[in-house]
Structure 1
Amino acid sequence: MSVNTILVTGGFGQVGKRCCELLLDRGRTVIAMDLRTDRSVAAADELSGPARPGTLVPAFVDLLDPAAVAGLVDEHRPDAIVHLAARLAPASYPNPAAAGRVNVEGTGNVVAAATALDRPPLLVLASSASVYGSRNPYRYPELITDETPVDPIDHYGRDKILAETIVRESGLPYAVLRLGGVISPDGMSGADRTHLVLIRATPRDNRIHAVDARDVALAFANAVDRADSIDGRTLLIAGDESYRKLQRELEDDMTQSIGLGRLGPSVSLPGDPADDRGWTFTGWFDTTESEALLDFQRHTWSETREWIAHSQARSRTLLLRTFGPVLRPAIRLLMAVQRRRDGRGDYADPWTLFEKTYGPDVLANKGSERP
């Protein structure tokens, strides 16, 4: 099937805008759908440059307006839809209900519009490692595969499973891409208070499989051209083996890249090897199959770190390097004080902290008691 017109929801986000750029460079017509904000308007202006062989059609449409979504899809009749739009965790934690409307109802609106077309488009859904829930690396050291049972612990993982179900039952040709921890300069700059809580909560020995946002964008861009080989598949999207990290190692790599230096293990708590609930929603992926099908792993972890480092304002990097010897012990002390204020014990116990901070709605099963 010739794929000429592609709808990308969340088209101006950290993955969306890079996916749109790749598709435009391939000469495609790209309908980039997103909410109208200063950031999305600026991204649309950047992508609309005359040098690109493709055609960008910015569409500032609310995913939760079913009539507007249906009208957009009916007008452009895309050959493929890349559905990236979502309310991501942990930014979604203060209002899980609102996030659920976007993540689940929004997906339903896209599917309803797509199934109304005479020629069904390929739908490629962005899902998440969060569907696997709390992963105790001491009890479950094996790599995660598409056969690993899903067991979400937070509302976001539950939302993503519901969205996957909507897509699978739609009758459309589809693929589900479950993403690891996406890293980009704009993702780093967009961190807010909820990300600080996540850092405080996550065990330092928690496994995380990161991936460069540029490689994620490439996976989706390649997927729209490979419908025959990916139809009906669930594929795991993460970086090569160099991106398999422990949480503390990844965080220290990032703080070193921006000039602050490494904070070290004392800044966070370990996970409890005897507690399957005491870990966050990630692990290390087996990406053998997804890489063979989508050919997306183009960067190494060191290259991603260089990307982050070069994106920083030189003056900010120099400032952090200059004051790093003072800031690092101050941050360690602040984190220790915060742990005492939170009444935390010897282990990280992240979901107790999340529930205490945001309420029981943050959990997949409200008010779950510890075993």
Structure 2
Amino acid sequence: MKTALVTGSAGFIGHHVAARLLDAGWRVIGLDNLSDYYDPTLKHRRNAQLSGDIEHVTGDIAKPGLVAGLMETHRPEAVIHLAAQAGVRHSIDAPRTYLHANLAGTFELLEAARAYPPAHLLMASTSSVYGASPDMPYREIDRADHPISFYAATKKAGEAMAHSYASLYRLPTTLFRFFTVYGPWGRPDMAPFKFVRAILADETIDVYNHGRMRRDFTYVDDLVTGITGLIDVIPGDVPVSAADSLSPVAPHRIVNIGNGEAVELDRFIAAIEAATGRTATRNLMDMQPGDVPATWADTILLTDLLGHALPRTPIEEGVRAFVAWYLSEYAPDDTT
């Protein structure tokens, strides 16, 4: 039985990754600090859904020696690092939490991986590192040197930190740049959750940039297929294609995982309206600091590495699944 360490295992994406690995017969060590960035009750409910050979560990990834102790004890073949302080707008109000979780936490994980090397270290980054670049779709081999939020800056720093360890210690490392992920068990601070909650309560939804937003909405099951499919695609010395982001000096690769389509926000809201049977009341607002008008992933490299295209769940189908989950979990009185 293979063992994986999943950090951030009670988070939105971490929960789904852990579930997929357990279904595939892996043993999972799940580390999460169960922070109060949003209601920890949701994190406990996520954990309660998991079945199989899993050990839940509650702790702060930035605590010196914690991750190293777990890796020394369990010697995981794969480490999937998803623990982070998320949220672009929150990083403006509380930057120190991002410094702690995303930089100090990543440092502790890299130190642990240096001491007890897994066969493959896989780490979450974000499409936010592309900043406000107008050159889309975003390619991994394009420069991403102008982050416009502190959240993005910490994730870009994490990529650079990982590269240095991959180079110094020949530690095979893959960085994932996630795009706008949504689906069941999603975070309450993200637009899909906030939109559904407000629309079901007949409340106004805030729509930034006056609705002129486009996002590469990625259904969480598709994302997890990409993550788990790349566990055995270990960076080596030879690029797979001209699109490969493989470092020339380290076993280090960056991979976009997205749907490969820039979708108008109005289409996403319309899908929620169709799934809920309600009409949204929009409060059109200016662009928020640190935000970007559009995201769009080039997924050629991901296809090359997997040997096939990632599943692309249509927006309407994915939104229906999210709304069905929301109703099953929260069952608002005004929708029954």
TM-score (normalizing by structure 1): 0.71
Cα shift readout 1:171-224 (whole Å, capped 9, x = no counterpart):
2101111011011233254549xx79x955445223211101112222221221
Deviation at 1:38, TM superposition (A): 4.1
- Aligned residue in 1 for 2:98: 99
- Aligned residue in 2 for 1:310: 324
- Aligned residue in 2 for 1:233: 253
Q: What SS is found at the alignment partner of 1:185?
A: coil
One-letter code aligned to 1:291: T
| Alpha-carbon distance between aligned partners in 2 of 1:318 and 1:302, rounded to the nearest angstrom | 24
Residue of structure 2 aligned with 1:126, choices 124, 127, 134:
124
Q: Which moved more, 1:14-23 or 1:182-191?
A: 182-191
Question: In the alignment, is the contact (CA less than 8 A) between 1:34 and 1:40 conserved in 2?
Answer: no
Question: In the alignment, is the contact (CA less than 8 A) between 1:133 and 1:152 conserved in 2?
Answer: yes
Structure number, greater radius of gyration: 1
Q: Does residue 285 in structure 1 map to residue 290 in structure 2?
A: no
Deviation at 1:240, TM superposition (A): 4.4
Q: 1:22 to 1:316 in 2, by over 3 A?
A: closer
| Alpha-carbon distance between aligned partners in 2 of 1:125 and 1:144, rounded to the nearest angstrom | 19
Kindly report which structure 2 residues correspond to 1:314-333, keeping only aligned pairs within 5 A, or say none: 319=334
Question: In the alignment, is the contact (CA less than 8 A) between 1:134 and 1:278 conserved in 2?
Answer: no
TM-score (normalizing by structure 2): 0.78
Question: In the alignment, is the contact (CA less than 8 A) between 1:79 and 1:121 conserved in 2?
Answer: yes
Residue of structure 1 aligned with 2:212, choices 182, 205, 208:
205
- Aligned residue in 1 for 2:181: 182
Kindly report which structure 2 residues correspond to 1:155-174, keeping only aligned pairs within 5 A, or say none: 155-171=150-166, 172-174=171-173
- Aligned residue in 2 for 1:268: 284
Percentage identity across paired residues of the two chains: 24
CA RMSD of aligned residues (A): 3.1
Structure (1/2) with the larger helix percentage: 1
| Alpha-carbon distance between aligned partners in 1 of 2:46 and 2:323, rounded to the nearest angstrom | 21
Residue of structure 2 aligned with 1:218, choices 221, 225, 229:
225
- Aligned residue in 2 for 1:350: none
User: In the comparison of the two structures, how many residue pairs are matched?
Assistant: 298
Q: 1:191 to 1:209 in 2, by over 3 A?
A: closer
- Aligned residue in 1 for 2:143: 149
| Alpha-carbon distance between aligned partners in 1 of 2:45 and 2:129, rounded to the nearest angstrom | 33
| Alpha-carbon distance between aligned partners in 1 of 2:265 and 2:61, rounded to the nearest angstrom | 33
Q: Does residue 30 in structure 1 map to residue 28 in structure 2?
A: yes
Q: What SS is found at the alignment partner of 1:312?
A: helix
Instruction: Structure 1: state its 5+ residue gaps.
Output: 272-276, 322-371
| Alpha-carbon distance between aligned partners in 2 of 1:134 and 1:304, rounded to the nearest angstrom | 27
| Alpha-carbon distance between aligned partners in 1 of 2:26 and 2:93, rounded to the nearest angstrom | 38
Instruction: Structure 2: state its 5+ residue gaps.
Output: 35-39, 196-204, 241-245
